Structure 1
Amino acid sequence: MDTETVTGRAPAGATRIERLDRLPFTREHRRLLVGSGVGWALDAMDVGLVSFVIAALAITWPDDIGSFGFVASAGFLGMAIGASVGGLLADRIGRRQVFAFTLLLFGLATGLSALAWSVGVLIALRFVVGLGLGAELPVASTLVSEFAPPRIRGRIIVILESFWAVGWTVAALIGFFVIPTSDAGWRWALALGAVPAVYAVVIRLGLPESVRFLESKGRIGEAEATVRRFEESAGVPAPAVAPSTVAEVPAPSAPARLSGLFAAPIRRQTISLWIVWFCVNFSYYGAFIWLPTILVASGFDLVRGFGYTLIITLAQLPGYAVSAVLVEKWGRNRTLATFLVGSAVSATLFGLASAEWQVIGAGMLLSFFNLGAWGALYAVTPELYPTPLRGTGAGWAAGVGRIASIIAPLIVPALLLSASTTVVFVLFAVFFIIAAVAALGLADKRGKSLDEALDQS
């Protein structure tokens, strides 16, 4: 992953964070990345399944079709709350604890959703699922960011985000092979979403807690043991002198952490970041949650519509790959803005598409650029905040974004009835452009330590 020659040996008297930042990418980094990434993929699988379930429910429960938008939006309402509360808890009780609990919560709730006997019950359970999903994503990216070597931190976070494409592809495969098999196919699909409940146990026992968080809580022995675990993985000898202690930093209250997001010089970053998160969520979930349904409504049968969705989904992976390279070459903000402009062009082309090859081609372009933008967005978000605010900042940015993901699935059906697919996707393009402009205002900490102050000049 990293072609630089890095010894990983820190000078005498180096702090734990300096020792950690000087390490090359080791098997412990890989273990953390994959462990967190599998949880991320399971999240994506759950969210992706909803789009296929909604399309199937339109056939199973046709009398309730007007309520199906609430199935998606209830989950996103839960995600908005979960992201906001989860971020606060991550700065209070730890990243790993929150990560494991949220996986358990949404895994169990998804399994129970398979037993839903009405749309109302399904909506209620999707809200609970959303609580877990919303908290897990920003917490996972924060945890991995705090361990990643600075010179490749952005690339690692984009790779973490690329697990989303893996999970969404699994959802598309389930949608293609499982859901159409019977009237109860959607129930079997949701039952598979209970897998995260088992994986949560693995997460809790296997992943390290953030060294920065441990030091802020005065848990020096645990912090030192974690750094040594990573140093040993890199073959770095133990420090010649006893490491210095770090005094516990009293944790600010939740209101203080929230107000801290708008203190100088962070205020401008928070506002720009929230705009990006809101606009990207609006366009992404407005498009992809309804994509299978839009294809079926356009005249494709259920299996064919799901098949096209699967093909379109596969284009997410090269989008992440290119983004992973560019975030370290061009920087976070330029890469993010570029992919957002590409998303706007792709959304417009999709809205104008009529022939099958045009639908698939424009859809693949939209997947490529939109998910590449997501990778860059997750890379830049934790970098904008200091350790005591990092979980809160990432969580609340995601929470604000989820407000848009609540709104979009509700208004898309109304827009499709009153206007056309072209109008809807041009609207998405406008939101992508607004996000691109806001992205250029974000600071770029490429290659810098997370603890370096923001340069607002």
Structure 2
Amino acid sequence: MDLDQRAPEAGAWYEGISRYQWVVLVIASLGWVFDVFEGQIFVASMNEAMPELIPPSASDASIPYYTNLTFAAFLLGGALGGVVFGRLSDRYGRVRVLVWTILMYSMATCLSAFSASWWQMAAFRFLVALGTGGEWAVATALVAEVFPRRARAWSLSIFHASSVLGSWMAAAAGVLLVANPDLGWRWGFVIGAAPALLVLWVRLSLKEPERGPSADPSKPRGSGALGRLFRGPLLRRTLVGVGLATVGLATFWGTHVYGKDRLRGMVEARALAELPEGADDSERADLLASLARPLKHWEMAGMFLVTTGGGIGLVCFGPMADRFGRRGAFLAFHLGGLVAALLLFQVISGVTPVLLFLPVFGFLTLGMHAGYAVYFPELFPTEVRGTGAGFCFNFGRFLAAPILFLSGWLQGPGGRSMRLEDSASLLALLMLVGVALLPFAPETRGQELPG
């Protein structure tokens, strides 16, 4: 019997949900929590790691350039991982491939601790992203196929919102490990091996979903061919999905992650303002060096606030999508995210005002990402669902990577030496591209998953 037929349509979304369905949501969410931790631990440690890893001949002004190259390597790895592992999950099953992805990102994150140069860090981040990109594609397809239609938006929003825990863990690692002079940034990557233990629970607890790729023996295994995504009615759905993901990922890495740095910059400015008039560059550098640990704590506080607001936004996307439709929810977050970014980076100033606004900024710039977990599985039939959802989300990473090269060039000495605030604001304008895509996006509210 189909899972939609077992659960009543009336009542709260969680009524009639079985224990096993909750287990699936918890395990998929934990995989995503650790997935995000593996990505965000670099964000939490990049200001300490990259000065050590750039070439000896490079100046400090080139650090943003090498940082953005490393971000770009991560995005490219995620693009490839989502496509490869999404297709493998359509061929070999969701559960088996979920195990492969968790093992890959756990081991590669641990190996990142042994980086001796920026290109080694970039290479390891590429391998991490192969696993994290694949995990998202497999887990979203798994949750979408296990939960009934009326609970799909809520369950997938909760799944995606669990990413907040991963970001909190990365922020905690930043305070307890990265900022600790007796430990340092490398230990944050070492603990990235811990999620490998999750695979034991996955293997013992999960089974292939009834609506998964193995449910219909008449459909050949491995039928999740990329070519199907670019034929017939699936072509428009694929292009819309890729476009939305590109906007979200480019603005995440080019705008959202710098919310914490805006707060740190305000704290630095307040400290420097206390120096006597006429203080030279060496005095300013000495003061900031003496404040390195408290500045790191402020930076991680900013990361915590942005992430907390973002988590609330992720949870809210589901009910908003049920109330106003998928397109309506995307519209609200794209327009709201643009306004919030311009306010934070161009208008609001001072430690306290920035501190208070960061949760709002996080809510509006991150909330749309839950829509990728809700919407993309609804666009594709069962035999290409993992392939389609993974391709949309992760090929968006591939297209977002050149935008981060641009961001690094804009901020670097070889480009325009643009302020971080101006670069983040410029990339936030991409939200308007997301708005322009919405008239072409099929509305899927209240519909069954395509068979």
Q: Aligned partner of 2:85: which letter?
A: G
CA contact (8 A) 1:273 1:439 kept: no
Tell me the residue number matched to 1:249.
219
The reply to whether residue 208 of structure 1 matches residue 176 of structure 2 is no
The reply to whether residue 260 of structure 1 matches residue 228 of structure 2 is yes
Uncovered stretches (5+) of structure 2, i.e. residues with no partner:
9-14, 269-294
The reply to whether residue 412 of structure 1 matches residue 407 of structure 2 is yes
For residue 55 of structure 1, the aligned residue among 40, 43, 47 is 47
For residue 373 of structure 1, the aligned residue among 368, 380, 384 is 368
Tell me the residue number matched to 2:284.
none
Deviations 1:161-186 (A, max 9, x none): 00111111111121122210027421
CA contact (8 A) 1:385 1:393 kept: yes
Provide the alpha-carbon RMSD of the alignment.
Answer: 2.3
SS at match of 1:146: helix
- Cα gap change, 1:217/1:101 in structure 2, threshold over 3 Å: closer, same or farther? farther
Tell me the residue number matched to 1:132.
131
Q: How does 1:158-307 map to 2 (within 5 A)?
A: 158-182=157-181, 184-213=183-212, 215-216=214-215, 218=217, 248-251=218-221, 257-292=225-260, 296=264, 300=268, 301-307=295-301
Distance 1:21 1:146 in 2: 14
Distance 1:75 1:422 in 2: 23
Distance 1:197 1:416 in 2: 37
CA contact (8 A) 1:348 1:422 kept: no
- Cα gap change, 1:93/1:343 in structure 2, threshold over 3 Å: closer, same or farther? same
CA contact (8 A) 2:266 2:350 kept: no
CA contact (8 A) 2:93 2:214 kept: no
For normalisation by structure 1, the TM-score amounts to 0.83
Q: CA deviation at 1:154?
A: 0.9
Distance 1:193 1:48 in 2: 11
- Cα gap change, 1:249/1:59 in structure 2, threshold over 3 Å: closer, same or farther? closer
The reply to whether residue 389 of structure 1 matches residue 384 of structure 2 is yes
Distance 2:114 2:258 in 1: 23
Uncovered stretches (5+) of structure 1, i.e. residues with no partner:
1-14, 219-247, 453-457
SS at match of 2:311: helix
Tell me the residue number matched to 2:352.
357
Q: How does 1:60-139 map to 2 (within 5 A)?
A: 60-61=52-53, 63=56, 65=63, 66-139=65-138
Tell me the residue number matched to 1:228.
none
Tell me the residue number matched to 1:148.
147
Tell me the residue number matched to 1:33.
25
Q: Aligned partner of 2:18: which letter?
A: T
Distance 2:404 2:258 in 1: 7
Distance 1:405 1:420 in 2: 20
- Cα gap change, 1:96/1:439 in structure 2, threshold over 3 Å: closer, same or farther? farther
CA contact (8 A) 2:106 2:128 kept: yes
For residue 342 of structure 1, the aligned residue among 333, 336, 354 is 336
Q: CA deviation at 1:153?
A: 0.6
Distance 1:412 1:214 in 2: 40
Distance 1:184 1:401 in 2: 36
Deviations 1:307-349 (A, max 9, x none): 2222222212221232222122112121122111111111111
Q: CA deviation at 1:423?
A: 2.9
Q: CA deviation at 1:302?
A: 2.5
Distance 2:313 2:3 in 1: 32
Distance 1:200 1:147 in 2: 19
Q: CA deviation at 1:41?
A: 0.5
CA contact (8 A) 2:263 2:355 kept: no
Distance 1:405 1:344 in 2: 17
Deviations 1:261-298 (A, max 9, x none): 12222222211111111111100111244555565566
CA contact (8 A) 1:110 1:191 kept: yes
SS at match of 1:250: coil
Distance 1:259 1:404 in 2: 19
For residue 325 of structure 1, the aligned residue among 319, 322, 330 is 319
SS at match of 2:83: helix
Comparing 423-432 and 42-51, the one that deviates more: 423-432
Q: Aligned partner of 1:423: which letter?
A: D
Q: Aligned partner of 1:413: which letter?
A: G
Tell me the residue number matched to 1:241.
none
Comparing 43-52 and 397-406, the one that deviates more: 397-406
Q: Aligned partner of 1:267: which letter?
A: L
Q: CA deviation at 1:150?
A: 0.4
> Once the two structures are aligned, what percentage of the paired residues are identical?
26
- Cα gap change, 1:130/1:174 in structure 2, threshold over 3 Å: closer, same or farther? same
Deviations 1:66-90 (A, max 9, x none): 5333332222221111011111111
Q: Aligned partner of 2:327: which letter?
A: N
SS at match of 1:210: coil
CA contact (8 A) 2:102 2:131 kept: yes
- Cα gap change, 1:118/1:422 in structure 2, threshold over 3 Å: closer, same or farther? closer
CA contact (8 A) 1:343 1:366 kept: yes
